[in-house]
Protein backbone atom coordinates (compact mmCIF):
# COMPACT_ATOMS: atom_id res chain seq x y z
CA UNK A 1 0.00 0.00 0.00
CA UNK A 2 1.19 3.52 -0.71
CA UNK A 3 -0.23 6.98 -0.13
CA UNK A 4 0.56 10.61 -0.89
CA UNK A 5 0.20 13.76 1.13
CA UNK A 6 -3.10 14.32 -0.70
CA UNK A 7 -4.55 11.13 0.81
CA UNK A 8 -4.36 8.94 -2.31
CA UNK A 9 -4.31 5.19 -1.78
CA UNK A 10 -3.42 2.42 -4.23
CA UNK A 11 -3.48 -1.16 -2.93
CA UNK A 12 -2.54 -4.13 -5.09
CA UNK A 13 -3.19 -7.77 -4.34
CA UNK A 14 -0.94 -10.73 -4.96
CA UNK A 15 -1.73 -12.76 -8.08
CA UNK A 16 -5.50 -12.70 -8.23
CA UNK A 17 -6.60 -15.55 -10.55
CA UNK A 18 -3.26 -15.34 -12.42
CA UNK A 19 -4.42 -17.32 -15.45
CA UNK A 20 -6.88 -14.51 -16.22
CA UNK A 21 -5.85 -11.37 -14.31
CA UNK A 22 -2.53 -9.54 -14.67
CA UNK A 23 -3.16 -7.17 -11.76
CA UNK A 24 -5.86 -5.93 -9.39
CA UNK A 25 -5.61 -2.53 -7.73
CA UNK A 26 -7.91 -0.95 -5.19
CA UNK A 27 -7.79 2.82 -5.20
CA UNK A 28 -9.08 5.85 -3.37
CA UNK A 29 -8.11 9.25 -4.72
CA UNK A 30 -8.81 12.65 -3.22
CA UNK A 31 -8.63 15.95 -5.11
CA UNK A 32 -9.57 19.48 -4.24
CA UNK A 33 -11.53 19.73 -7.51
CA UNK A 34 -12.53 17.35 -10.32
CA UNK A 35 -9.77 16.66 -12.86
CA UNK A 36 -9.49 14.81 -16.18
CA UNK A 37 -7.51 11.56 -16.04
CA UNK A 38 -6.21 9.77 -19.14
CA UNK A 39 -7.21 6.12 -19.46
CA UNK A 40 -4.33 4.74 -21.47
CA UNK A 41 -4.27 1.88 -23.96
CA UNK A 42 -2.47 -1.22 -22.71
CA UNK A 43 -2.09 -4.90 -23.67
CA UNK A 44 -4.70 -5.76 -21.03
CA UNK A 45 -8.46 -5.41 -20.91
CA UNK A 46 -9.77 -3.07 -18.23
CA UNK A 47 -12.47 -3.92 -15.71
CA UNK A 48 -13.38 -1.27 -13.13
CA UNK A 49 -15.89 -1.45 -10.28
CA UNK A 50 -16.66 2.05 -9.02
CA UNK A 51 -17.56 2.03 -5.33
CA UNK A 52 -18.80 5.63 -5.46
CA UNK A 53 -20.63 7.46 -8.23
CA UNK A 54 -20.59 6.21 -11.83
CA UNK A 55 -17.36 6.60 -13.76
CA UNK A 56 -17.73 9.42 -16.28
CA UNK A 57 -15.62 9.06 -19.42
CA UNK A 58 -15.39 10.28 -22.98
CA UNK A 59 -13.36 10.04 -26.15
CA UNK A 60 -12.06 13.58 -25.59
CA UNK A 61 -11.94 15.98 -22.62
CA UNK A 62 -14.89 17.86 -24.12
CA UNK A 63 -16.89 14.65 -24.53
CA UNK A 64 -16.12 13.58 -20.96
CA UNK A 65 -17.33 16.92 -19.61
CA UNK A 66 -20.40 17.03 -21.84
CA UNK A 67 -23.96 15.74 -21.55
CA UNK A 68 -23.26 12.69 -23.75
CA UNK A 69 -20.38 11.33 -21.64
CA UNK A 70 -20.42 7.64 -20.78
CA UNK A 71 -21.54 6.99 -17.18
CA UNK A 72 -21.00 3.47 -15.87
CA UNK A 73 -20.59 1.96 -12.41
CA UNK A 74 -18.93 -1.15 -13.87
CA UNK A 75 -16.66 -0.46 -16.83
CA UNK A 76 -15.27 -2.90 -19.39
CA UNK A 77 -12.62 -1.69 -21.79
CA UNK A 78 -11.22 -3.62 -24.74
CA UNK A 79 -7.85 -3.23 -26.41
CA UNK A 80 -7.71 0.28 -27.84
CA UNK A 81 -5.13 2.57 -29.38
CA UNK A 82 -6.29 6.02 -28.24
CA UNK A 83 -6.65 7.41 -24.73
CA UNK A 84 -10.00 7.63 -23.01
CA UNK A 85 -10.66 10.64 -20.79
CA UNK A 86 -12.10 10.05 -17.34
CA UNK A 87 -13.54 12.75 -15.09
CA UNK A 88 -11.96 12.09 -11.71
CA UNK A 89 -14.18 13.63 -8.99
CA UNK A 90 -12.95 15.00 -5.68
CA UNK A 91 -13.25 11.54 -4.09
CA UNK A 92 -13.19 8.32 -6.09
CA UNK A 93 -12.97 4.75 -4.81
CA UNK A 94 -12.92 1.55 -6.83
CA UNK A 95 -11.17 -1.61 -7.93
CA UNK A 96 -9.47 -1.90 -11.31
CA UNK A 97 -8.45 -5.16 -12.96
CA UNK A 98 -6.07 -5.70 -15.87
CA UNK A 99 -7.40 -8.82 -17.61
CA UNK A 100 -5.55 -10.99 -20.09
CA UNK A 101 -7.22 -10.56 -23.51
CA UNK A 102 -7.14 -14.28 -24.24
CA UNK A 103 -8.99 -14.92 -20.96
CA UNK A 104 -11.94 -12.77 -22.04
CA UNK A 105 -14.06 -15.72 -23.16
CA UNK A 106 -13.46 -17.67 -19.96
CA UNK A 107 -13.89 -14.72 -17.60
CA UNK A 108 -16.22 -12.29 -19.35
CA UNK A 109 -18.13 -14.66 -21.65
CA UNK A 110 -17.21 -12.76 -24.85
CA UNK A 111 -14.04 -12.43 -26.94
CA UNK A 112 -11.97 -9.32 -26.37
CA UNK A 113 -12.79 -8.16 -29.90
CA UNK A 114 -16.40 -7.49 -28.88
CA UNK A 115 -15.39 -4.91 -26.26
CA UNK A 116 -14.94 -1.24 -27.07
CA UNK A 117 -12.90 1.50 -25.39
CA UNK A 118 -13.68 2.42 -21.78
CA UNK A 119 -17.32 2.90 -22.72
CA UNK A 120 -19.01 -0.47 -22.14
CA UNK A 121 -21.37 -0.83 -19.20
CA UNK A 122 -20.06 -3.96 -17.52
CA UNK A 123 -23.44 -5.05 -16.22
CA UNK A 124 -24.66 -5.32 -19.83
CA UNK A 125 -21.98 -7.97 -20.45
CA UNK A 126 -21.49 -9.56 -17.03
CA UNK A 127 -25.11 -9.50 -15.93
CA UNK A 128 -26.79 -8.68 -12.63
CA UNK A 129 -24.11 -10.54 -10.66
CA UNK A 130 -21.66 -7.73 -11.46
CA UNK A 131 -24.05 -5.14 -10.00
CA UNK A 132 -24.45 -7.24 -6.86
CA UNK A 133 -20.68 -7.60 -6.54
CA UNK A 134 -20.21 -3.85 -6.88
CA UNK A 135 -22.71 -3.27 -4.06
CA UNK A 136 -20.97 -5.87 -1.91
CA UNK A 137 -17.55 -4.33 -2.51
CA UNK A 138 -18.92 -0.91 -1.55
CA UNK A 139 -20.31 -2.29 1.72
CA UNK A 140 -17.10 -4.04 2.78
CA UNK A 141 -14.65 -1.97 4.81
CA UNK A 142 -11.18 -3.41 4.09
CA UNK A 143 -9.27 -4.08 0.89
CA UNK A 144 -8.54 -7.65 2.00
CA UNK A 145 -12.26 -8.34 2.27
CA UNK A 146 -12.93 -6.74 -1.09
CA UNK A 147 -10.21 -8.71 -2.84
CA UNK A 148 -11.45 -11.95 -1.28
CA UNK A 149 -15.00 -11.26 -2.52
CA UNK A 150 -13.66 -10.37 -5.95
CA UNK A 151 -11.59 -13.58 -6.11
CA UNK A 152 -14.67 -15.68 -5.31
CA UNK A 153 -16.66 -13.87 -8.00
CA UNK A 154 -13.97 -14.40 -10.63
CA UNK A 155 -13.53 -18.08 -9.80
CA UNK A 156 -17.29 -18.62 -9.97
CA UNK A 157 -17.50 -16.90 -13.37
CA UNK A 158 -14.71 -19.01 -14.85
CA UNK A 159 -16.30 -22.18 -13.48
CA UNK A 160 -19.68 -21.26 -14.99
CA UNK A 161 -18.47 -20.35 -18.49
CA UNK A 162 -18.39 -22.81 -21.40
CA UNK A 163 -14.83 -23.90 -22.12
CA UNK A 164 -14.59 -21.88 -25.34
CA UNK A 165 -10.98 -21.06 -26.17
CA UNK A 166 -9.40 -18.75 -28.74
CA UNK A 167 -7.85 -20.42 -31.75
CA UNK A 168 -4.47 -21.94 -30.96
CA UNK A 169 -2.82 -19.81 -33.63
CA UNK A 170 -4.10 -16.62 -31.99
CA UNK A 171 -2.86 -17.70 -28.55
CA UNK A 172 0.53 -18.64 -29.99
CA UNK A 173 0.78 -15.31 -31.84
CA UNK A 174 -0.07 -13.30 -28.72
CA UNK A 175 2.54 -15.18 -26.67
CA UNK A 176 5.15 -14.62 -29.38
CA UNK A 177 4.41 -10.88 -29.50
CA UNK A 178 4.62 -10.68 -25.70
CA UNK A 179 7.89 -12.60 -25.62
CA UNK A 180 9.41 -10.19 -28.15
CA UNK A 181 7.84 -7.17 -26.40
CA UNK A 182 6.39 -6.01 -29.68
CA UNK A 183 9.67 -5.85 -31.57
CA UNK A 184 9.44 -8.94 -33.79
CA UNK A 185 8.60 -8.80 -37.49
CA UNK A 186 5.15 -9.73 -38.73
CA UNK A 187 6.56 -12.10 -41.36
CA UNK A 188 8.44 -14.02 -38.65
CA UNK A 189 5.28 -14.10 -36.54
CA UNK A 190 3.21 -15.53 -39.41
CA UNK A 191 5.81 -18.23 -40.04
CA UNK A 192 5.85 -19.06 -36.33
CA UNK A 193 2.11 -19.82 -36.26
CA UNK A 194 2.05 -21.46 -39.72
CA UNK A 195 -0.47 -19.04 -41.23
CA UNK A 196 -0.22 -16.54 -44.03
CA UNK A 197 0.00 -12.92 -42.86
CA UNK A 198 -3.53 -12.30 -44.19
CA UNK A 199 -4.98 -15.35 -42.44
CA UNK A 200 -3.28 -14.42 -39.18
CA UNK A 201 -4.52 -10.84 -39.35
CA UNK A 202 -8.09 -12.02 -39.93
CA UNK A 203 -8.30 -14.50 -37.04
CA UNK A 204 -6.26 -12.33 -34.66
CA UNK A 205 -8.35 -9.21 -35.28
CA UNK A 206 -11.60 -11.15 -34.94
CA UNK A 207 -10.59 -12.49 -31.52
CA UNK A 208 -8.83 -9.46 -30.04
CA UNK A 209 -10.09 -6.41 -31.92
CA UNK A 210 -6.59 -5.42 -33.07
CA UNK A 211 -4.32 -6.60 -35.87
CA UNK A 212 -1.06 -8.34 -34.90
CA UNK A 213 0.87 -5.26 -36.01
CA UNK A 214 -1.26 -2.95 -33.85
CA UNK A 215 -0.90 -5.31 -30.89
CA UNK A 216 2.87 -5.35 -31.33
CA UNK A 217 3.06 -1.56 -31.40
CA UNK A 218 0.87 -1.37 -28.30
CA UNK A 219 3.01 -3.88 -26.42
CA UNK A 220 6.23 -2.09 -27.36
CA UNK A 221 4.74 1.20 -26.22
CA UNK A 222 3.62 -0.29 -22.90
CA UNK A 223 7.14 -1.59 -22.30
CA UNK A 224 8.46 1.94 -22.90
CA UNK A 225 5.79 3.58 -20.74
CA UNK A 226 6.62 1.35 -17.81
CA UNK A 227 10.32 2.01 -18.39
CA UNK A 228 9.86 5.77 -17.92
CA UNK A 229 7.41 5.18 -15.05
CA UNK A 230 9.93 3.12 -13.09
CA UNK A 231 12.56 5.82 -13.59
CA UNK A 232 10.13 8.49 -12.37
CA UNK A 233 9.31 6.41 -9.29
CA UNK A 234 13.02 6.38 -8.45
CA UNK A 235 13.17 10.15 -8.84
CA UNK A 236 15.19 10.07 -12.06
CA UNK A 237 14.61 12.51 -14.93
CA UNK A 238 13.14 10.98 -18.10
CA UNK A 239 15.72 9.87 -20.68
CA UNK A 240 13.54 9.40 -23.75
CA UNK A 241 16.42 8.53 -26.09
CA UNK A 242 17.71 5.79 -23.75
CA UNK A 243 14.17 4.46 -23.27
CA UNK A 244 13.59 4.34 -27.03
CA UNK A 245 16.82 2.40 -27.54
CA UNK A 246 16.07 -0.04 -24.70
CA UNK A 247 12.55 -0.74 -25.96
CA UNK A 248 13.31 -1.37 -29.61
CA UNK A 249 12.45 1.99 -31.19
CA UNK A 250 14.62 3.21 -34.05
CA UNK A 251 14.94 6.62 -32.39
CA UNK A 252 13.35 8.78 -29.73
CA UNK A 253 11.13 10.57 -32.27
CA UNK A 254 9.21 7.33 -32.92
CA UNK A 255 8.63 6.88 -29.18
CA UNK A 256 7.39 10.46 -28.87
CA UNK A 257 5.06 9.79 -31.80
CA UNK A 258 3.62 6.75 -30.02
CA UNK A 259 3.08 8.77 -26.85
CA UNK A 260 1.15 11.31 -28.89
CA UNK A 261 -1.05 8.53 -30.31
CA UNK A 262 -1.61 6.42 -27.21
CA UNK A 263 -1.51 9.13 -24.54
CA UNK A 264 -2.40 12.30 -26.40
CA UNK A 265 0.64 14.21 -25.17
CA UNK A 266 4.43 14.02 -24.84
CA UNK A 267 6.27 11.68 -22.41
CA UNK A 268 7.49 14.55 -20.25
CA UNK A 269 4.07 16.17 -19.98
CA UNK A 270 2.42 12.84 -19.15
CA UNK A 271 4.98 12.19 -16.42
CA UNK A 272 4.31 15.65 -14.99
CA UNK A 273 0.56 14.97 -14.99
CA UNK A 274 0.93 11.52 -13.44
CA UNK A 275 3.82 12.14 -11.03
CA UNK A 276 1.50 12.24 -8.04
CA UNK A 277 -0.19 8.93 -8.96
CA UNK A 278 3.13 7.29 -9.82
CA UNK A 279 4.62 8.21 -6.45
CA UNK A 280 1.45 7.06 -4.67
CA UNK A 281 1.77 3.58 -6.17
CA UNK A 282 -0.30 3.61 -9.34
CA UNK A 283 0.94 2.31 -12.72
CA UNK A 284 2.27 -0.99 -11.39
CA UNK A 285 0.64 -3.43 -13.82
CA UNK A 286 3.90 -5.20 -14.64
CA UNK A 287 4.74 -6.77 -17.98
CA UNK A 288 3.32 -10.27 -17.68
CA UNK A 289 1.18 -10.12 -20.83
CA UNK A 290 1.59 -13.67 -22.13
CA UNK A 291 -1.00 -16.41 -21.91
pTM: 0.90
Instruction: Tell whether 35 and 119 lie within a shared domain.
Output: yes
Instruction: Tell whether 22 and 154 lie within a shared domain.
Output: yes
Q: How many CA atoms lie within 13 A of 175 on its CB side?
A: 11
Q: How far apart are CA 157 and CA 123, in angstroms?
A: 14
Provide the domain limits for residue 88: 2-160
Instruction: Tell whether 264 and 198 lie within a shared domain.
Output: yes
Q: How many CA atoms lie within 13 A of 36 on its CB side?
A: 18
Instruction: Tell whether 176 and 155 lie within a shared domain.
Output: no
Instruction: Tell whether 150 and 182 lie within a shared domain.
Output: no
Q: Digits of tens for pLDDT over the chain (291 positions)?
A: 333 445 688 899 877 899 999 999 999 988 877 888 898 999 999 999 999 999 999 999 999 999 999 999 999 999 999 999 999 888 899 999 999 999 999 999 999 999 977 677 899 999 999 999 999 999 999 999 999 999 999 999 999 888 778 999 999 999 999 999 999 999 999 999 999 999 999 999 999 999 999 999 999 999 999 999 988 888 888 899 999 999 999 999 999 999 999 999 999 999 988 877 777 666 555 556 665
Domain count, the chain: 2
pLDDT at 187: 95
Instruction: Tell whether 16 and 58 lie within a shared domain.
Output: yes
Q: How far apart are CA 222 and CA 270, in angstroms?
A: 14
Instruction: Tell whether 36 and 102 lie within a shared domain.
Output: yes
Residue at which a domain ends, from 111, 136, 160? 160
Task: Give Cα separations from 52 to 28, 58, 72, 92 (angstroms).
Answer: 10, 18, 11, 6
Give burial (CB, 10 Å; 0-12/13-18/19+) of 234. Answer: exposed
Instruction: Tell whether 114 and 25 lie within a shared domain.
Output: yes
Instruction: Tell whether 217 and 248 lie within a shared domain.
Output: yes
Instruction: Tell whether 208 and 97 lie within a shared domain.
Output: no
Q: Which residues of 242-253 are buried (b: 16+ CB within 10 A; e: fewer)?
A: ebbeebbbeebe
Instruction: Tell whether 205 and 257 lie within a shared domain.
Output: yes
Q: What is the CATH number of the domain that holds 176?
A: 1.10.10.60
**pLDDT for 252-290, tens place per residue?**
999 999 999 999 999 999 998 887 777 766 655 555 666
Instruction: Tell whether 256 and 191 lie within a shared domain.
Output: yes
Q: What is the CATH number of the domain that holds 51?
A: 2.60.120.10
- Residue 203 contacts residue 167 (beta carbons within 8 Å): yes
Residue at which a domain ends, from 142, 160, 178? 160
Residue at which a domain ends, from 160, 192, 222? 160
Amino acid sequence: MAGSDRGDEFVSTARLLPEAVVSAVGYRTVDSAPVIHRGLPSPSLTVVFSLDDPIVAGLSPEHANGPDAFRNRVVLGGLHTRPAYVVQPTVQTGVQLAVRPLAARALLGVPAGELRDLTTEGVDVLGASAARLREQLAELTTWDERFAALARYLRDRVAAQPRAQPRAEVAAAWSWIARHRGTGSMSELARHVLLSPRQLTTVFNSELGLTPKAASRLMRFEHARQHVTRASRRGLPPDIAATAHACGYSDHAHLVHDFQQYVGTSPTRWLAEERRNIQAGAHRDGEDWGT
